[in-house]
Structure 1
Amino acid sequence: MTERKAYEGTYQGEKAIWLKSGRYEAIMLPEIGGNLIAFRDVESGYRFLREPEEQEMDAFKSNPGIHGIPVLFPPNRYEDGLFPWRGEVYQFPVNEASTQNHLHGFLHTTPWEVEDFGQTPHESYVTVKVTVNSQHKVYQYLPFTFTVRLKYTLSDNGLAQQLFVRNDGENEMPCLIAFHTTVNAPFVPGGDAKDYRVKLTLGERWELSDRMLPTGVFQPLTAEEYQMQGEGVYPFFESMDNHYTAVPQNGRNRMELTDTKAGVTLVYDVGTSYKQWMIWNNGAKEGFFCPEPQLNLVNAPKSALPAEEIGLFSLQPGEIWEERSRFYVK
């Protein structure tokens, strides 16, 4: 009988919820941004997400953005830290010195509450949440009352993610979110990154200013970017910190990463609510890269483009937004 387990333990000295289901295991760090820090195939030795080594934990805790699956809310950059919304302008900290922008929001550094974990005959799961109200530290920057709930489920079908946002307040609130998902390439033990090919359901590439903010126009795709749309391309063909529209293919919005030598493909199916992709590959250094599903255009509240087109979503009082994503292997 296949083993399914969910239990509280530790990971590199930090509180963790461990999930086990057949050949797979996953690890959640609720107190470090609700980060799903590990997704592994223990039978094959595959490690799909970039995990911090023991000597990297202090650096990871001080900047938990490039390991596991960090939650970005609101995501990416906001010019001068300014966030205009429905006649008000909110001031976020300017935390990226090189651009003088705010970067990546507040939830990836916020402790999350473990709401539930357990197992059934078919899966193991953990649910964590953040409830923001006037007593929460995020409220000083985003004065809205809301709940974000994140559930991960591990089964024979891989790792499933369910994201839930509810407006608990009396005012219309922005619903802008992304995941700075950090994928290993190679993920096969002893593998060579040069054997890897990545496909992404990208559309157009946004032109970015020297402050990494969209100018509102598109740039022509390169030959390698067309390969990324189609048969796949080596993930480190050049340095990428690029912003794209998302264009679903065959009804799905996804990244596929294939080890051509091992004949194994990791699929990251993110759901069609995500209107944009970021892709960042750490200056084209082999080892990991970040295919980042993002609801909204970078700096979206300052854009004059149509809100629906750029993913500038909102929630009225009592409204809920929800989306599902999944990692699986084929």
Structure 2
Amino acid sequence: MNTTETSDSWEADYQGERAIYLRFGSSEAVMLPEIGGNLIAFRDHERGFHFLHEPSPDEMESFKARPMIHGIPVLFPPNRYEDGRFAWNGETLQLPVNEEATGNHLHGFLYNTPWVVDEYGHSRKESHVSISITIDEDHPVYQLFPFRFSITLRYSLSSDGLMQHVRIRNHGTTCMPCLLAFHTSINAPFTADGSARDYRLKLTIGDRWELDERMLPTTHFQPLVPEEEQMRDSGVYPFFAEMDNHYTSVSQNGRNRMELQDTKSGMTLIYDVGTSYKQWMIWNNGAEEGFFCPEPQINLVNAPNLDLQIAEAGLFSIAPGEIWEETSRLYLRQTT
């Protein structure tokens, strides 16, 4: 692909929902602003590759009811919080307990909240869309998370793949916790005629956190099994066992990323996330072939409630007027 290829952007329907489409050469991406700002599709039409797990037409209703395992949902705050509460700035925040089995709050409140389309467009070098959500006293989320802030997401499609730029600005008068992750759902296989058995997953993990019966960290680590060591070092079949695991991230060669190699085609999908993401969650749908979720996460699960050093828990704040931002990229590389 080169920079002279056709670039385009437009608004259209996606299975009955408003969508913004991006096109660059043979690549296409689809954004659903009103379903949590979910980047629901990333495709290469020329090769027949579908990189993200998209809902089929008969899955749309269940997807809208719980848009977790398709596309790139925004989790804020991410993952589980014990009894739905945590302390911050001397006050206790109470989130709804929405996971009955564990008695925890799960995955925050932005993955199904409508976002605003700020603009979309295209040039010779890329197509792009920017969306945002602003939380203040007039927004329902403020009752759960009483901070004034905005989040802006910009996705751009170019010869360098799909780039995500996320920016959080604190508009309030007190420090706010920066708690964010993306429940990215990756197809394996991503080729039309591929087999998951031909795929090898590599992830820049460090230690695996021990989780209790409520899926909350105990603050202790567990030894990696041999397949997890392969996942860290050389690559492993993504469905070798059921995974709903939480790991520290340890950059390799200056990069914090997932690599998914299709050994048959010789193509590797790279999900290069920023080093601000100090944790990885990985969930593989009960080891059922088809898709899995490598989730870059800033903070440890239940971080504000744990007796850990701030850096170890990935827990940091954004001061009044400050901006935090990070970029990630999905792209293909020929490896054999």
1:149 to 147, 152, 156: 152
Distance 2:251 2:63 in 1: 33
Displacement after TM superposition at 1:86 (Å): 1.6
Displacement after TM superposition at 1:170 (Å): 0.5
Residues matched between the structures, number: 330
Structure 2 residues not aligned, in runs of 5+: none
String of CA shifts for 1:81-130, please: whole Å, max 9, x gaps: 01211211111110001101000001101100000100011000000000
Distance 2:199 2:103 in 1: 35
- What residue in structure 1 maps to residue 291 of structure 2? 288
Distance 1:168 1:187 in 2: 41
- What residue in structure 2 maps to residue 158 of structure 1? 161
The residue identity in structure 1 corresponding to 2:126 is E
The residue identity in structure 2 corresponding to 1:118 is G
- What residue in structure 2 maps to residue 8 of structure 1? 11
The alignment's C-alpha RMSD in Å is: 0.6
2:320 to 309, 317, 320: 317
The residue identity in structure 1 corresponding to 2:40 is I
1:127 to 123, 130, 133: 130
Distance 1:189 1:304 in 2: 47
1:180 to 173, 183, 205: 183
Distance 1:77 1:328 in 2: 30
User: TM-score normalised to the size of structure 1?
Assistant: 0.99
- What residue in structure 2 maps to residue 253 of structure 1? 256
String of CA shifts for 1:159-190, please: whole Å, max 9, x gaps: 00000000000111011100000000000111
Distance 2:214 2:7 in 1: 47
2:142 to 139, 142, 167: 139
Distance 1:86 1:244 in 2: 27
Distance 2:115 2:148 in 1: 16
2:201 to 198, 218, 221: 198
The residue identity in structure 2 corresponding to 1:132 is I
The residue identity in structure 2 corresponding to 1:154 is L
Displacement after TM superposition at 1:303 (Å): 1.1
1:304 and 2:307 equivalent?
Answer: yes
The residue identity in structure 1 corresponding to 2:275 is T
Displacement after TM superposition at 1:267 (Å): 0.1
- What residue in structure 2 maps to residue 72 of structure 1? 75
Displacement after TM superposition at 1:313 (Å): 1.5
Where 1:298 maps in the other structure, the secondary structure is coil
The residue identity in structure 2 corresponding to 1:259 is D
Which segments of structure 1 move beyond 2 Å, counting only runs of 4 or more? Answer: none
- What residue in structure 2 maps to residue 267 of structure 1? 270
Where 1:194 maps in the other structure, the secondary structure is helix
Distance 2:276 2:313 in 1: 11
- What residue in structure 2 maps to residue 213 of structure 1? 216
The residue identity in structure 1 corresponding to 2:259 is E
Distance 1:136 1:94 in 2: 20
Where 1:109 maps in the other structure, the secondary structure is coil
The residue identity in structure 2 corresponding to 1:310 is A
The residue identity in structure 2 corresponding to 1:165 is I
1:96 to 85, 96, 99: 99
Displacement after TM superposition at 1:2 (Å): 1.3
Distance 1:107 1:84 in 2: 20
